Amino acid sequence: MVLIAAAVCTKNGKVILSRQFVEMTKARIEGLLAAFPKLMTAGKQHTYVETDSVRYVYQPMEKLYMLLITTKASNILEDLETLRLFSKVIPEYSHSLDEKEIVENAFNLIFAFDEIVALGYRESVNLAQIKTFVEMDSHEEKVYQAVRQTQERDARQKMREKAKELQRQRMEASKRGGPSLGGIGSRSGGFSADGIGSSGVSSSSGASSANTGITSIDVDTKSKAAAKPASRNALKLGGKSKDVDSFVDQLKNEGEKIANLAPAAPAGGSSAAASASAAAKAAIASDIHKESVHLKIEDKLVVRLGRDGGVQQFENSGLLTLRITDEAYGRILLKLSPNHTQGLQLQTHPNVDKELFKSRTTIGLKNLGKPFPLNTDVGVLKWRFVSQDESAVPLTINCWPSDNGEGGCDVNIEYELEAQQLELQDVAIVIPLPMNVQPSVAEYDGTYNYDSRKHVLQWHIPIIDAANKSGSMEFSCSASIPGDFFPLQVSFVSKTPYAGVVAQDVVQVDSEAAVKYSSESILFVEKYEIV
C-alpha cells in the first residue's frame, strides 16, 4: 500500500490535524482534504470512498473522522488494519475526542503517526512499540538522575554540618571573649576608650588562657553587655537549636560528659531520605534492616512472546551492589553461591579480582589492602542471560480469541507459572480492547478492571506461586476481531532472583571472621508482552 496522508477532521470537513507521507504540493493535499466532505453520502454504511485518483478510508470517532488518503492500488484490507491502528493511537495522547484536545496534543500525535508510516509504507509496529518510541524512555538517564540527587543530598548534608561546626566555634569564642570569629576585634578600640586599656585586650587575647585577673573579668563583662543588644535584634529561624547548643557547650565546659546528640537529627533525616528513595526505585516496598554491610540484587526481565507460541526475545540482566557504612568492614570478601542459572554471563567490576571470582566464586578487590568505598552503592557484579528456549520463560500466557458468529469474539486467557521457585507479586495482565466496546466477563481468578479511556481490560492477580500457579479468565466482546486483543502487557515483581545469584557469606580479609550483613533482592519486569 502507499499511504499519501493521514488526517483528523470534523464531520463538517474542517481539518484539525494532517500528516503527509509522500512528496506532494501543499495545494494538492489541501484540495484532497477539502474534497472529502463533498464525497460523503448519507445513508451508506461503507467506510471508504473513491475518486479517479485516490481512495479515502475513514472511521467515525464521536464528532470526528480519522481519515487516510491512499492510492487506488493499495490493499483495502491493509488500509482498514492501518486505520484501526491510527484510531487506537489518538485516545492514547488525547484525553477526549474533541478539537481542543487534538490541537493541544498535535505534536505527540504527529510523532506517533510517523512511527506507523514511513515514506508512504506501513511499519511493522504495534501500539505498545509506538508508545515506547514516542516516550524515548532512558534507563541510563534515570540512573544518572538518581546518582545526581544522591550527590546533591550528601553535599547539602555536609554543608549543614559545616555550618553547625562554624556556629559552635563562634559561640565558644564569644564565651571566651575572643574577637576573631564574632567580629569582636572591630570593637577592641571601644574597650580601650572605656578605660580598660589596650594592654588588657589584644587581637588574640580571647584565644589565650594567659589572660587572668580583673582585666579578663572586665573584658568578659563588657563583651556580654555588648552582645545583648545584638542578640535581641538577631531574630532568626532555628534560634532554639542555637540555645540548646549553647547550653550543651556550657555543660561541657563545666566538665560534664554529654552525649553528642547534635548529629542525630541529620543522620535520621538522611536515613529517611535514603529509604524513601529506595522505596521509589524498587517495585516492592520492604522494611529491611540494613547492617553495616548491605547487599542488593536486582534482576530485570525483557520478554517478548508470540501469540501462537515461541520466544521472540528473552533477556535477563542483573546487578549486584554492595554498600558499606562502617570503615571497620571496608576490607571484606563476598562469597556467592555457585548454583546460578546455567548459561549466565557474569562480568565483574574492573577493580574486582577476576581470578579469585573464577576459582572460588568470591568477590574481592585486586588490591586486598584497599577498602571498598564507604556510604556508596558499588556495583561489583553484573550478569546477562539470553535464551530462545520456552522453558526459560517464568510465566506463560495463553490468549485464545475466537469468532462467536455474531460479529464479536469470545476470549479465553490462562496463565501458568513455569519457574515454580519464584513467587510473583502484584501480577497485572493488560489486554487491549476495541474502541468503545465494553467486555462481558464471565469467569475470572483474581480481580479485573475495565478502563474505558484507554480501552483496556486490566486483570490483577495478587500472588502467583507454586501453590497458585495457574488461573484463567473468560470474556466476550462485540464488534471485534481476534487481532484486537494483542499485544498483551504483563508486569509483576518478586523477592526471589531469577538468575540465582545469592550471597553465601561475608568475611574479613585478614582474619576471615564472619561479618554480619543484610541483603535484599528484587525481580521486576521492564517489558513483558505477548504479540
The domains of the chain are located at 3-135, 138-173+263-281, 282-390+498-530, 395-494
* Alpha-carbon distance values, 71 to 10, 46, 68, 269, 300 (Å): 22, 18, 10, 66, 45
- Asked whether residue 319 carries a pLDDT value surpassing 50, the answer given is yes
- Asked whether residue 254 carries a pLDDT value surpassing 60, the answer given is no
The predicted-structure confidence for 322-349, as pLDDT tens digits, reads as follows: 999 998 899 999 999 888 878 889 999 9
- Asked whether residue 257 carries a pLDDT value surpassing 70, the answer given is no
- Asked whether residue 88 carries a pLDDT value surpassing 50, the answer given is yes
**Pick among 1.10.8.50, 3.30.70.20, 3.30.450.60, 3.40.50.170: CATH of 3-135:** 3.30.450.60
Predicted local confidence at residue 440, as pLDDT: 92
The predicted-structure confidence for 163-188, as pLDDT tens digits, reads as follows: 888 988 888 888 776 554 444 444 44
The CATH class given to the 282-390+498-530 domain equals mainly beta
Q: What is the mean pLDDT of residues 44-59?
A: 81
More confident residue, 374 or 123: 374
- Asked whether residue 135 carries a pLDDT value surpassing 50, the answer given is yes
Predicted local confidence at residue 244, as pLDDT: 45
Q: Are 71 and 5 within 8 A, CB to CB?
A: no
- The contacts of residue 210 (CB under 8 Å, 6+ apart) are none
CATH code at 395-494: 2.60.40.1170
Q: Three-class SS string for 112-176? A: HHHHHEECCEECCCCHHHHHHHHHCCCHHHHHHHHHHHHHHHHHHHHHHHHHHHHHHHHHHHHHC
More confident residue, 281 or 367: 367
- Asked whether residue 239 carries a pLDDT value surpassing 80, the answer given is no
- Asked whether residue 10 carries a pLDDT value surpassing 90, the answer given is no
Q: Which stretch of 130-139, 257-266, 335-344, 457-466 has the lowest confidence by average pLDDT?
A: 257-266
- Asked whether residue 419 carries a pLDDT value surpassing 80, the answer given is yes
Average pLDDT, rounded, for the chain: 78
Q: Coil, strand or helix: which one is 400?
A: strand
Q: What is the mean pLDDT of residues 216-234?
A: 42
Predicted local confidence at residue 73, as pLDDT: 79
Predicted local confidence at residue 45, as pLDDT: 61
Q: Which stretch of 45-54, 124-133, 228-237, 319-328 has the lowest confidence by average pLDDT?
A: 228-237
> What is the rounded distance in angstroms from the CA atom of residue 272 to the CA atom of residue 220?
43
Predicted local confidence at residue 183, as pLDDT: 43
- The contacts of residue 478 (CB under 8 Å, 6+ apart) are 406, 407, 408, 437
Q: Which stretch of 80-89, 115-124, 306-315, 475-484 has the lowest confidence by average pLDDT?
A: 115-124
Q: Please determine whether the domains at 282-390+498-530 and 395-494 fall in the same fold group of CATH.
A: yes
Q: What is the mean pLDDT of residues 108-134?
A: 80
Q: Are 385 and 316 within 8 A, CB to CB?
A: yes
Q: What is the mean pLDDT of residues 430-447?
A: 91
Query: Which percentage of the chain shows pLDDT scores above 70?
Result: 77
> What is the rounded distance in angstroms from the CA atom of residue 220 to the CA atom of residue 237?
27
